[in-house]
């Protein structure tokens, strides 16, 4: 952890904030195509103060939380940056756990390794709690934020299809998984300089990826690069470590081979869905129709 760049010396970080099933994997893989961005799978760092805490909490949920071990995105990032093999990177991360390295030091190390590229953190867990989002301001006050929003009907449909057991236990779970993260994000962004965040809609992203990516590049102060529009081209940390773990993120991402604009309409399949009052208000704020 020697010779780490301090926050002000590093190019600003970028956080993708969204509810689950909002197309965040697609967006992070698109961004991974830019030569000035390093955009790995879920790092799942922000909710924790130290690596031992992260290991204990995510380790305990490894077999049931979303069906996979939520620690492995960091392994994939470390392997990709350092070119360590799986065992070496496991040992490096295990030492971080044993020495109880602070999470802010892990961020600094990653950012030092990839400098002058910018680190993109797309970890859906970050938006599950306002406190986690607030922590990003302490760790890196000069960060930029992209709020990715998707129609609640599409998110609910995707969650109901993917996590049937959860939805059977609690009929409102899918709606809450759209509502609560978006509420947290709005509360958090209310305290951020508007020049440092941008809201984009999933439906626009898949319908007109070029104009949305141009807008994102302008916001981030980067030149537009064509590879942003080709998420299935080249190495973008979508395969995990074969034989050891699968990549974190949308398990269906690799079932597509291009940006599927038809999914901008998926909410129409759920016409007649009854959302609670808070979700209706928030959907109206995002200017979504709720037929």
Residues at the site binding ligand A3P, with contacts judged by CB under 6 A: 18, 20-26, 158, 161-162, 206, 249-250, 252-253, 256, 259-260, 263
- What's the min distance (Å) between Cβ of 56 and ligand A3P? 25
> Given the complex with ligand A3P, which of 22 and 247 has the nearer CB atom?
22
Tokens representing 68 are: 């996979």
> Which is nearest to 149 in space by CA: 219, 195, 198?
198
What are the C-alpha distances in Å from 80 to residues 76, 117, 274? 6, 14, 44
Minimum distance from CB of 245 to ligand A3P (Å)?
Answer: 17
Dihedrals φ, ψ of 38, to 5°? -115, 110
| Distance in Å, CB of 156 to ligand A3P, minimum | 11
Residue 201's H or E segment, with its range, is strand 197-201
Nearer to ligand A3P, 136 or 266 (CB): 266
* Smaller CB separation from ligand A3P, 51 or 159: 159
Give Cα 41 distance to the centre of its chain.
7
CB of 199 to ligand A3P, least distance (A): 15
Counting Cα atoms < 13 Å in the Cβ hemisphere of 146 gives: 29
Residue keyed to tokens 């984009």 = 200
Please tell me what DSSP assigns to residue 13: P
Nearer to ligand A3P by Cβ, of 163 and 188: the residue is 163
Toward ligand A3P, which CB reaches closer, 11 or 47?
A: 47
Q: Closest approach of Cβ 261 to ligand A3P, in Å?
A: 7
> What single-letter DSSP state applies at residue 12?
P
């Amino acid at each position: 952890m020697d010779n780490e760049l301090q926050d002000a010396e590093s190019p600003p970080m970028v956080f993708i904030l969204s509810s689950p099933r909002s197309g965040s994997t697609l967006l992070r893989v698109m961004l991974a195509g830019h030569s000035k961005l390093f955009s790995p799978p879920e790092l799942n760092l922000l909710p924790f103060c130290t690596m031992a805490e992260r290991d204990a909490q995510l380790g305990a949920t490894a077999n049931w939380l979303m069906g996979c071990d939520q620690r492995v995105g960091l392994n994939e990032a470390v392997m990709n940056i350092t070119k360590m093999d799986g065992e070496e990177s496991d040992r490096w991360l295990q030492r971080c756990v044993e020495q109880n390295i602070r999470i802010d030091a892990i961020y600094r190390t990653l950012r030092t390794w990839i400098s002058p590229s910018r680190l993109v953190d797309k970890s859906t867990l970050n938006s599950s709690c306002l406190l986690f989002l607030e922590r990003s301001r302490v760790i890196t006050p000069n960060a930029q934020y992209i709020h990715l929003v998707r129609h609640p009907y599409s998110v609910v449909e995707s969650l109901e299809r993917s996590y049937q057991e959860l939805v059977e236990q609690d009929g409102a779970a899918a709606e809450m998984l759209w509502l609560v993260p978006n509420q947290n994000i709005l509360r958090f962004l209310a305290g951020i300089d508007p020049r440092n965040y941008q809201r984009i809609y999933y439906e626009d992203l898949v319908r007109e990826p070029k104009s949305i990516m141009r807008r994102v590049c302008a916001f981030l102060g980067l030149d537009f690069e064509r590879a942003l529009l080709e998420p299935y081209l080249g190495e973008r940390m979508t395969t995990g470590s074969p034989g050891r773990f699968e990549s974190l993120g949308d398990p269906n991402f690799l079932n597509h081979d291009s940006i599927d604009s038809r999914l901008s309409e998926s909410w129409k399949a759920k016409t007649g869905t009854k959302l609670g009052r808070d979700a209706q208000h928030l959907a109206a704020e995002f200017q979504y129709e709720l037929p």
